[in-house]
Structure 1
Amino acid sequence: MEELYTLEREVGRGSYGVVFEGHMAKTGQRVAIKRLPCSKPECIELYLQELWAMRATARNHVNVIALHSCLLQTGPRSLRTLRPGKLPLRLVESVLKGTVVGPPQGGERNNSQSNTQRRVNSVSRLQDRTNTVQARAKPQEKTKSNSSDSTTPQRPQNRARKRPAEREEEQAAPLRCLALWLVMEYCEGGDLNHYLLSRPPDAQRNHSVVRQLSSAVAFLHSLGITHRDLKPDNVLVSVTPKGPVVKVADFGLSKMSEGWMDGDVTRQHFSSICGSDFYMAPEVWGGLTYSAQADIFSLGVMFWAVLERITFVEEGTTQEQLGAYVCKGRWLMPIGEALWENTDLQLCIPMKFKRAPPLPPPPGPAVCALLSDMLSSNPDSRPPADQLEAIVRSALKEDSH
């Protein structure tokens, strides 16, 4: 093992894994280290999808999170680096068989694998700290909860969310199938919710975020990658002297379309209902087949929320999040769900009432027209990703005059 990593603190915990702030022992470079326990075949499948997508993006775009390396934990105190372009065959077998596959009786016999396995002194500490650290709220969640406006509308608690089934609580005992460790670049600004809502509104900053996100999605679609879960939680922020650099992350639900024809990623269709309800396109809500244009819809919801600083409170929490919606009495309805129920629904862009003052100036006519196109109930009416960045820049420039 050429690089050893140490863990400093937990910075995030989700349904599938835990993210730590860490450092490269030799260089001191700060990194984010994500531990994905391989305890269930359905979870392993998501991990391999994320790994494959992040390897495809490599470090080729400033607005997509960079993967430094991937480590396979093969024992309580042993890690080995996965070679570029290779997937751990035992985990692939677990996905195909639908059951976690353990090591063969008598130990591993693969000489090529055993030659790459080395003892890592810090791994025992990684394992121990991962299994004993207690879940706690993200730092940004504490910040947002203090600033939550009592007038901010809330999502009704009795509404079910259309998301993949969450895995059970991670066991404290050592896992027989162990884990994948993804070592990624560290983003000190937190996610997009935390970064923007912890600062006063700034129109120029908002415009920069919108331009960067459109560039990132255009890059992903050019590689045949459909993200399928674009939302502020999955956009991280790196703070630089020239301003925030946003980075699309979390590719667990992404799909790679190697067979898409004529460079048109929209010709590849999917059928799995997945994502986060406030950002899901109407065709996804309706259980229809959908294409990469569903990403454009999710991006439109994010753009609208960022530009007007629209927030809501998710069910079961007290934390404000960026997101646009349709009001149904005192309750909120995701835009995609509302458009699925009524394709002729006319969205009020910009919103006519205050959400979280102070507010930035409302978007101009050109940007409002762009948002309407991105949030169209007809996927074919939404601008394709390869044209979106130019359209965004043109609309922002037009409205500035």
Structure 2
Amino acid sequence: MDSIYLDHAATSPMDPRVVDAMLPYFYEQFGNPSSIHHIGRAARQAVDEARAKLAECLHTSPNQLIITSGGTEADNLAVIGYALENESKGKHIITTQIEHHAVGHACAELEQRGFEVTYLPVDEIGRVSVEDVRKALRDDTILITIMYGNNEVGTIQPIKEIGEIVREHQAAFHTDAVQALGTVDINLAELPVDMLSLSAHKINGPKGIGLLYMKKGITARPLLFGGEQERKRRAGTENVAAIVGFKKAMEIAVETANEKRERYLGYSRIFFDTFTKMDINFGLNGDPVERLPHVLNISFPGVQVEALLVALDMANIAASSGSACTAGSLEPSHVLEAMYGNEGKERIFSAVRFSFGITNTEEEIEHAAKEIAKIVKRLQEQQQFIS
């Protein structure tokens, strides 16, 4: 069987329909949206129409969307941009110990600039306590940033409950929903958040394009300086082709969300059933119910994750040991460390993330599950022999 890609949470292949939608903007309609001539106006129209469709899919208004170069920039603008713009109200920020590095490192940068950051713990399924958020709030808290669904273990956070608490406080509430988009319904007319980050390449769109939803009345200091694009909130000539691709990917993602959710949960069941039948020792990391359906993080006790990933790669199965941003690093996952602490080292160092996407079929998932089970069984037996 050909290579089986089980790392869609790292990045996803572009949908051919997205590519087709983008192609004209590399050739015929290549104008700069800021130009006043007819070629520039055609590009401007494409950007405006794409923004309108993105807003429609998210149930918000177009002028509340800031187009960015991806999820990292969106997170940075929400965290650093908002904090710098609003530091006169206070310099305290609340986040969690399991955030994506785009948020975690942004918070660390703010600490270097004199802000105080509270990093809330999570329980063993990777979920933050709503009560912990409430207790952490102070008069000088200006921002709470908590991810929607975790990119490593898939646990979905109680965003609505936290948002209701924050409504009564001066603090703005930001959520990184990059990994949730595509399998979780995101309705900004109902979701109690002030800012929300998204990225196209997680939903079979192009890399290098994302957006930040910013609720009316919320302001952030620009991180880039130049032209007056994005209503003076984000300078730089618009990436028209990528914006059009994001629009098409978003349309498809919204239309197929329910079907994909059920399909991916079915893939997880195939893994669980196969591992159980083949008598593999394994454990699920993350919430077994409130989780992103395409993310499956499993620990295989007695197996070193590096050896497992190499063996999987040789079997043409692509998976990950955690966040793609730390790929190649031997350092333990900060997410799993927050969940299990020092007592869970074996679980932490034997964890693999499998993540599903549109290219996967039930046939290859069944094949992959059997191959993974064979490899794990061999490695676990070798470890027992050595011990």
TM-score (structure 1 length as normaliser): 0.28
Going by fraction, where is strand more abundant, 1 or 2? 1
TM-score (structure 2 length as normaliser): 0.29
Going by fraction, where is helix more abundant, 1 or 2? 2
Q: Which has the higher contact order (CA 8 A, sep 6+)?
A: 2
